[in-house]
Amino acid sequence: MGFPYLSTIVFLPVIGAIVIALLPGANPRRIKLTAAAFTAVSFFLSLALFSMFDRSLDGPQFVEQLSWIPAIDVQYFMGVDGLSLPLLLLTTFLGIVAVFVSWKINLRVREYFAWLLLLETGILGVFCSLDLILFFIFWEVEIIPMYMLISIWGSGRKEYSAMKFVLYTLIGSAMMLAGILLLYFQAGTFDMVALAGMGLDSVLSSMMAAAIFFLIFIAYAIKLPVFPLHTWLPDAHTDAPTAVSVILAGVLLKMGGYGMIRVSVSMFPETAQNYAPLIIALAVVSVL
């Protein structure tokens, strides 16, 4: 397996959050420098990974794969390819940007930067996960930091906007979890690479494939967001602190598009093609 580059990149920000929480005293500058240091190391590691990536190979690279919950075949399975690696690099870069944009934060500085770093770990984990349960866990991790950052350090109707974001996201998460479990009961694995190669459109009935496709797709449509599931976004963007708006626009929304491609389309290409006119129509309305 070699050096665990991906685990290091993903978990460095949350380690930074723990260090910040344990720092003695209440020196804002020390807290900010600590946050900057951990996000910078994560960025430079992802930059090194980008330079080492072999573009001539198919499939995930820098793979880390360990059995986690053998009873149901859940794995700690990470890897990146040409789709996820640029998003990994973008996330770590915007992590640094968010820290420096937040340099003038003076309210509850320790808590602010701890939540900001935890948010980065959640997003990075989504882009690296190749097991659906691991993917789902990281998908959920970013909800609490987003709520705290908007509701405490935001402006305007910040509590309303934060709660609206959480409610929309949790509805999508419930549907995604239902789709993931239904898929597991049909296919017997959470391995995203194996599922993409199974030809699920042919293995499952058209009704079952469509049901799983849309259960999972709706969660990503909320995050992207796609009309008519988009109404949380204007409030969140308007009322979030600047650094959170940077993360929101830069990478958090892209989690929705990434999920559509990585899970919905790659595992159910024929179903996606069958419903393409509907999806395209919703996309056009969303753009307008």
**pLDDT, position 152:** 93
Distance of CA 51 to the CA centre of its chain: 23
Predicted pLDDT of residue 66: 95
CB-based contacts of 122, cutoff 8 Å, min separation 6: 138, 139, 140, 141, 142, 145
Report how far residue 60's alpha carbon sits from residue 232's, in angstroms, rounded to the nearest whole number: 34
The distance between the two most distant Cα atoms of the chain, rounded to a whole number of Å, is: 61
- CA-based nearest residue to 279, from 233, 232, 210: 210
pLDDT at 2: 78
**Closest among 13, 175, 20 to 96, alpha carbons compared:** 13
**pTM value?**
0.94
Q: Which domain holds residue 146?
A: 5-287
CA dihedral 112, 144, 10, 67 (to 10 degrees): 150
Which tokens hold the place of 276? 């393409």
Classify residue 70 as exposed, middle or buried by CB count within 10 Å of its CB (0-12, 13-18, 19+): exposed
> How much is the pLDDT for 199?
87
Query: Around 155, how many Cα atoms within 13 Å sit in the side-chain half-sphere?
Result: 7
Grouped pLDDT means (10 residues each) for the chain, 288 residues: 90 96 87 96 96 91 94 94 96 96 91 96 97 96 94 91 93 95 94 92 89 93 87 88 91 92 93 90 85
Residue written as token pair 């058209």:
206
170-211 tens-digit pLDDT: 999 999 999 999 999 999 999 999 999 988 888 889 999 999
Question: How many independent structural domains does the chain possess?
Answer: 1
Distant-in-sequence, close-in-space partners of 24: CB < 8 Å, separation ≥ 6? none
Residues with Cβ < 8 Å from 213, sequence gap 6 or more? 179, 264, 268, 271, 272, 275
